Amino acid sequence: MDLSNLKEPFSAEDIEWRLQQCGESKDGKIWGKCLAYITSRAVQERLDEVCGPDGWRSEIRKDGDAYLCTLSIRMKRDDGSIEWISRTDGADATDKESVKGGISGALKRAAVQFGIGRYLYDLEEGWINVCENGKYFGKTKTDKQFRWMPPALPDWALPKGENTFRGSESNSSNQASASVPETNPSTKGRKGKTTAEEDRIKAEGNAIISRIGDVMNHEENGHKSFTEDEITNVRGIVANTRLDANGISELLELEKVVQEELESRLQKMAA
């Protein structure tokens, strides 16, 4: 068992974002900053993958208004004996889900002691993208509600092969083929391995992402058809779309939208 694998970055779909601050400018535009966190489900799956389902355990106890989690990993010494290595950390109960939120937070904090998700502390607050189809909801101090998408994660904060729009600097057919993120049929999930259907969905999703990347990076007469802000916005939407049946539908709809927008811009240029 290689415990260094616990420190590997998570897929974008395993990251949740929380709004840290937001407001409204004088011209009525909403702004906000957010931070990235791992989900407790992702922590448990990472422990199952690296340590095995019976190779780790967690113990929760309440301490006043906080919850403490002791996370232990079973190690086998050279002499064949077994040793449990433990780390403890805690979290306060949350306003929305006092028990569940406190337990989940304590588990994630204890997991960081083993390096799980620790790299996220190197991420600075990111600017949100306010949009009608945003994944998250927010509200200003004046009770103005809005939806938003988080920024795309940098390449170093993603698993190898999952870089959004990876390698699509040009829009040649060869480059498009090279830009498809790799899928690993041996990737372990809740049941220890992916099914053929899950692999098929991931492959289809990666192909759609590659095509979207080609559209967004299209150049005409040496100039990009989309601005960097537009590309960043679409990257954020793609990076936070889960590769499942619903996610495939969302990606296909996004591909349709950006393709139609590109065709409209090219027609205006030709007119």
Q: Which of 124, 149, 174 is the last residue of a domain?
A: 149
**Which of 199, 161, 166 has the alpha carbon at shortest distance from 8?**
161
Which pLDDT score, from 0 to 100, does residue 100 have? 75
What DSSP designation does 154 have?
A: P
Maximum CA extent, the chain: 78
pLDDT in tens, 183-196: 333 333 434 455 77
Same-domain check for residues 11 and 134? yes
**Residue burial 204-237, b: 16+ Cβ < 10 Å; e: rest:** bbbebbbbbbbbbbbeeeeeebbeeeebbbbbbb
Phi, psi of 110 (to 5 degrees): -65, -35
Give the DSSP H or E segment for 17. strand 15-24
pLDDT band at 165 (very low <50, low <70, confident <90, very high): low
Classify residue 115 as left (phi > 0), alpha (psi -120 to 50) or beta: left
Same-domain check for residues 17 and 145? yes
pLDDT in tens, 216-232: 888 888 888 999 888 88
Same-domain check for residues 164 and 122? no
d(CA 117, CA 161): 18
Q: Which of 117, 149, 181 is the last residue of a domain?
A: 149
d(CA 100, CA 106): 10
pLDDT band at 10 (very low <50, low <70, confident <90, very high): very high
Whether the predicted pLDDT of 109 surpasses 90: yes
Number of domains in the chain: 2
Same-domain check for residues 210 and 122? no
Where in the sequence is the domain holding 8, given as residue range(s)? 3-149
Which pLDDT score, from 0 to 100, does residue 13 have? 82
Same-domain check for residues 172 and 127? no
Classify residue 48 as left (phi > 0), alpha (psi -120 to 50) or beta: alpha
Which pLDDT score, from 0 to 100, does residue 114 have? 95
155 domain-assigned: no
